[in-house]
Structure 1
Amino acid sequence: MSDTAKKNIYLRLVAYAAPYKWRIALSMVASLLVGGSDALIAYLVKPFIDEMIVAGNMQLAKLVPLLVVGLAATKGAARFIQMYYIRYAGQGAIQDIRNQLYGHLVRLSMPFFVRHSSGTVMSRVLNDVNLMQSVLSDVLVTLLRESTSMIALVAYAFYADWKMALMAFVVIPASAGPAAAIGRKIKTFSRRGQSAMGEVTKSLEQTLSGIKVIKAFGTEREEEEQFRRENAGFFRLICKTFRYDAASSPIIEVLTSIGVATVLWYGLYRVGSGDMTKGELFSILAAILLMYSPLKRLTRVNNVFQQALGAAERVFEMLDHEPEVVDAPDAIEMPLCRGEVRFEQVTFAYEDEPVLRDFSLVAPPGQVIALVGPSGAGKSTVISLLNRFYDPQQGRVLIDGYDIRKVTQESLHRNLSLVDQETFLFHRSIRDNIRYGRPEATDDEVVEAARKACADEFIRQLPNGYDTQIGDRGVRLSGGQRQRICIARAILRNAPILLLDEATSALDTESESLVQQALVNLMQGRTTFVIAHRLSTVMHADRILVLDQGRVVEAGSHQELLGRDGLYRRLYDMQFKDGEA
């Protein structure tokens, strides 16, 4: 990393601490007291040795207990103020970073989540931010305390005897080179270790999400081996970090021993020649020994800081990722629409191969448009583009004449209600899940939506009714029950445009019949797009579009398409012959 890039990261970290500057300032004042206490201890060694030990002044000895307690109380109080307020500031800054990161994350476009696994993203939000916490709390505490202590002790040592202090001080710049080299290695391996931790988190997240599949296929041992491999990769990298971290203290110990030995040899020579008293020698020696302790701790702090710097790079990398789909600078609020939808010569590709090619359709307000065709024909892509999860490479999508790229995404989604083929429910109560699209809805409106979705009966049979907590992703409910709650959520949303992507795929025959009738009632006066593989669910659509390889190959009513002997007829015959068999 270049020096400029490092400086930018430092400045960004400092910017997060700026709102807590007064607490940091108070902590710095307390740090001065801590550092001053250490320097005072070194200073008092001289009269203690010369006046009490050598001269035998017992009157001074009576003051020693009071002095010891007083110094300890002052230093203890200063340490408390320093540590509490700097950690408060550090934790506050970390909270701000995590909040900003989460807020930025949920605003990123769908392509980002396609390219990055949820485990990797979770690792950055949790593990990387936690590592950054050490910089803005523990590292700041140690940095302030040890820096002020070392400065105070160095100042006293030079004041007492600059020649001896200079001999000891040479060690400090001499240790800077090895410390910096070790820090760079730690940062490199720490960043790679955090990436490896992302893989571990991804493996864990996939296991928890797919535990039913793992159990069904009996692949526990294979998944365990996969997790062990990912964990071993992380272990190897983190051990390299430990190796360099462990090497830093012995190196500093050796260098400081040279400084102490030089000072001691020169000091004893001067005491022997009468140029210095024993008290002066021990006073300076105490200052130098006390000075090296902060130096060693600061070296360890640098190691921790380098680890956090690697984590900060990854966090800021995510924060700097710009959403692909954004509101135009002059985007307008789209009012509640009538529901006319147009696709005008839309071409779209996720990668290189187009999924939709020159796709056009017109859906008048209140019509039910069904999209059918083989898997991969582009049906769900139409829904994604209408939701503006992606923008087309060519062409445009309009609602009531508004190009959806020129309206705010918030106003666009107020006009849409989606029931996806992936039934997702939050680990909250059933009531909260149904109310998710309209938080202000009353309890009666929630119940009415559930009734229309044929969900009210089974909900009331649950232990806590609508207040039942349904577990992560709704694992306590059957697939059909989850889908009916998702339909109730869409019904309560009451948007002019309804999007049903395989909305009845998980329902049994009886529930499907009831929900189909509820959806027929719901569709009245609403523009509805229905995607379904089971053609029995789209027979009554006003218009059926048959897609194949991203193009509309047929369009018409159910009866019209049956009479053309095309792809729709072949799909129909395959399904109903299978049903008869």
Structure 2
Amino acid sequence: METFKRLLRYSKPYGWRIAISMVASLCVGGTDAAIAWLVEPLLKKIFTEKDMTIFILLPVAVMIVFILRGVARFVQQYYISTAGQLAIQDIRNEVYQKHMGLPLRYFADNPTGVLMSRVMSDVGQMQSGVANVVTGLLRDGVTAIGLLGVIFYRNWQLALITFIVLPLTAVPAQKIGKRIKNLAKQSLGQMGEITSILQETFTGIKVVKAFRLERRFIDRFSQTNLGLYHYLRKSIKYESLHTPIMEIITSLGVAGVIWFGGSQVMHGRMSASEFFSFLTAMVMLYGPVKKLLSSYNTVQQAVGAAERVFEVIDQRADIEDPAEPVEMGPPQGSVELRNVSFRYNDEEVLRNVSLSAGRGEVVALVGPSGAGKTTIMSLIPRFYDVTGGAVLVDGVDVRQARLDDLLSHVALVDQETVLFNDTIANNIRLGNSDAPMEAVERAARAAFAHDFIMDMPEGYDTNIGDRGVRLSGGQRQRLCIARAILKDAPILLLDEATSALDTESEHMVQQALANLMKNRTTLVIAHRLSTVLHADRIVVIDRGEVVEVGTNDELLARGGLYRKLYDMQFS
């Protein structure tokens, strides 16, 4: 109930729509009750008193009643459904916004396809559940109450027989509903696995085809899809059991009413028209009651999906602005790691790392793969928080600064060239959304990207497709560098920024970066040592620790790990 109440709270902003729907529901329920009520006097007037006027007007009255009922049903369905859709839209926006505020650790621990499924499949399940349930509660609830009033007025003894049976339907409904909720959560989890496979397949289709992995992925998809079918089959089984069980239980009430009511008619204690009016109301009553009980299953499916969605909304964002942030002041461009340690789950990645970089200095991080270089880069813009020590930018612990202030000091060019399905100009403008076209072009020229951009069909207005699929690796990398140039931040983080460039392009971009690095702090990760030979300081990282620090010549003279890496590349 707590989950369902929380779900309904999202409908509060659209209360006026729900109010209109409730009024229309009263009209729908009122017409059903009126029809049942009028059966007795109409039968009496037509068949007992032979009233031809009533007989002639009856078809017209029936048409008018059903027209009014139809209009009321449309208004009720339209406004309650749109209220549900708007509420679900708010939930989906909140889930997406919550995802945007979660730290990188969360995304590393959860497959992309599963996260996509939470936003689409899970919220979609909630959408159908909320719309159907609220609609049913209003329409069928009002109808059931009206019809109950009719049958109690007609004959309270028969009404008690009818009413005693109804609570008996709650027990199987609750047991079946609980199983359906658990199966809904399991099937949505399986749907997340399917979405994950699709995402991996489509983003890595080149590798799939190059290594002839089609059959392997087809088999994997088929097995996961079969698992989804098993959950859905069980859910279908319980949903299919629901209606027969309800009908069997309610048949007891129907049988009791026929036996007891028929006895009263035969003994003259009740007229036939009154009995038929009661039967009409009773038969009409079981319809909305059955729908209300069926809605319980839909509620359970929606609650199962809501629990998964609320898990995301309730997820703690451990990278947040402090309650009392420290002002960073005018940017100076200094970076210091002071005895930094970092653990990822149970894995120790960094141990007592200390290094510093002053304004205008170029500090290179080198070392074997997996040594922890990229982790150090991720700690500076506070993608992760240290588990020991401190990272300071301009003398301020990054955990005590506003994230907006901190990230305004930093420009990043990552080894993964992330571009979006947008124009070239807008991808470069990610570094400065308000930059005029002249500034965008200057940044592109500095990154030696202008010439190939002008060769594109629409120049800077060319849409580069999903992840920049229409560009070569070197072109994508140069756009990312242009983005960092446009941001013009005092601290530059270059993680293999030239890794995808050919020799000629790399030489040009190195010249552009050399101009950009003037009076700015630059931390560079490079596996190709040729790109960092002239760094002011080279920090050698191995197994999460700083093992050597010095210039290229100093490190070569020591004959340590750097010398080994140097000889391997230049031999």
Name the aligned partner's letter for residue 289 of structure 1: V
Instruction: Tell me the residue number matched to 1:376.
Output: 370
1:82-121 → structure 2 map (5 Å cutoff)? 82-121=76-115
Runs of 4+ in 1 over 6 A off after TM superposition: none
Instruction: Tell me the residue number matched to 2:421.
Output: 427
Instruction: Tell me the residue number matched to 1:250.
Output: 244
Distance 1:188 1:342 in 2: 50
1:48-197 → structure 2 map (5 Å cutoff)? 48-197=42-191
Instruction: Tell me the residue number matched to 1:503.
Output: 497
Residue 66 of structure 1, CA deviation? 2.3
Distance 2:544 2:246 in 1: 67
Alignment counterpart, residue 316 of structure 1, candidates 310, 314, 333: 310
Instruction: Tell me the residue number matched to 1:343.
Output: 337
Name the aligned partner's letter for residue 54 of structure 2: L
Contact kept in structure 2, 1:129 and 1:312, CA below 8 Å? yes
Alignment counterpart, residue 402 of structure 2, candidates 408, 426, 430: 408
Name the aligned partner's letter for residue 370 of structure 2: G
Instruction: Tell me the residue number matched to 1:448.
Output: 442
Contact kept in structure 1, 2:360 and 2:522, CA below 8 Å? yes
Distance 2:439 2:210 in 1: 39
Partner of 1:480: helix, strand, or coil? helix
Which piece of structure 1 moves more, 446-455 or 68-77?
Answer: 68-77
Distance 1:133 1:334 in 2: 45
Tell whether 2:464 aligns with 1:475: no
Aligned residues: 571
Instruction: Tell me the residue number matched to 1:239.
Output: 233
Distance 1:429 1:228 in 2: 37
Distance 2:388 2:317 in 1: 19
Question: What is the TM-score of this pair, normalised by structure 2?
Answer: 0.98
Residue 352 of structure 1, CA deviation? 2.7
Residue 336 of structure 1, CA deviation? 4.1
Tell whether 2:508 aligns with 1:514: yes
Contact kept in structure 2, 1:111 and 1:324, CA below 8 Å? no
Distance 2:234 2:480 in 1: 49
Distance 1:27 1:110 in 2: 44
Tell whether 2:324 aligns with 1:330: yes
**Deviation digits for residues 2-44 of structure 1, max 9, x if unmatched?**
xxxxx32122112211111122122112111111110000011
Tell whether 2:474 aligns with 1:489: no
Name the aligned partner's letter for residue 520 of structure 1: A
Name the aligned partner's letter for residue 301 of structure 2: Q
Tell whether 2:380 aligns with 1:386: yes
Relative distance call for 1:68 and 1:343 in structure 2 (3 A) is same
**Deviation digits for residues 149-198 of structure 1, max 9, x if unmatched?**
01110111001111111111122101111111110110111111111111
Name the aligned partner's letter for residue 250 of structure 2: T
Distance 1:107 1:166 in 2: 56
Contact kept in structure 1, 2:130 and 2:302, CA below 8 Å? no
Contact kept in structure 1, 2:328 and 2:394, CA below 8 Å? no
Tell whether 2:269 aligns with 1:266: no
**Deviation digits for residues 281-302 of structure 1, max 9, x if unmatched?**
1110000000000011112211
**Deviation digits for residues 88-119 of structure 1, max 9, x if unmatched?**
21111111111111111110011111111111
1:32-51 → structure 2 map (5 Å cutoff)? 32-51=26-45
Residue 55 of structure 1, CA deviation? 3.2
Tell whether 2:208 aligns with 1:214: yes
Instruction: Tell me the residue number matched to 1:4.
Output: none
Residue 353 of structure 1, CA deviation? 3.4
1:278-289 → structure 2 map (5 Å cutoff)? 278-289=272-283
Instruction: Tell me the residue number matched to 1:22.
Output: 16
Which piece of structure 1 moves more, 481-490 or 57-66?
Answer: 57-66
Partner of 2:169: helix, strand, or coil? helix
**Deviation digits for residues 349-389 of structure 1, max 9, x if unmatched?**
21333221111112111111100011111111110000111
Contact kept in structure 2, 1:89 and 1:136, CA below 8 Å? no
Distance 1:574 1:191 in 2: 53
Identity %: 51
Name the aligned partner's letter for residue 503 of structure 1: A
Instruction: Tell me the residue number matched to 2:352.
Output: 358
Alignment counterpart, residue 527 of structure 1, candidates 511, 521, 524: 521
Instruction: Tell me the residue number matched to 1:3.
Output: none
Partner of 1:170: helix, strand, or coil? helix
Partner of 1:545: helix, strand, or coil? strand
Alignment counterpart, residue 297 of structure 2, candidates 292, 303, 308: 303
Relative distance call for 1:235 and 1:335 in structure 2 (3 A) is farther
Partner of 1:516: helix, strand, or coil? helix
Task: Specify every segment of 5 or more residues in structure 1 that has no aligned partner in the other structure, as ranges.
Answer: 1-6
Residue 65 of structure 1, CA deviation? 2.2
Alignment counterpart, residue 31 of structure 1, candidates 22, 25, 36: 25
**Deviation digits for residues 230-266 of structure 1, max 9, x if unmatched?**
1111110011111101111111111222222221222
Distance 1:335 1:457 in 2: 39
Question: What is the TM-score of this pair, normalised by structure 1?
Answer: 0.97
Contact kept in structure 1, 2:114 and 2:193, CA below 8 Å? yes
Contact kept in structure 2, 1:546 and 1:553, CA below 8 Å? yes
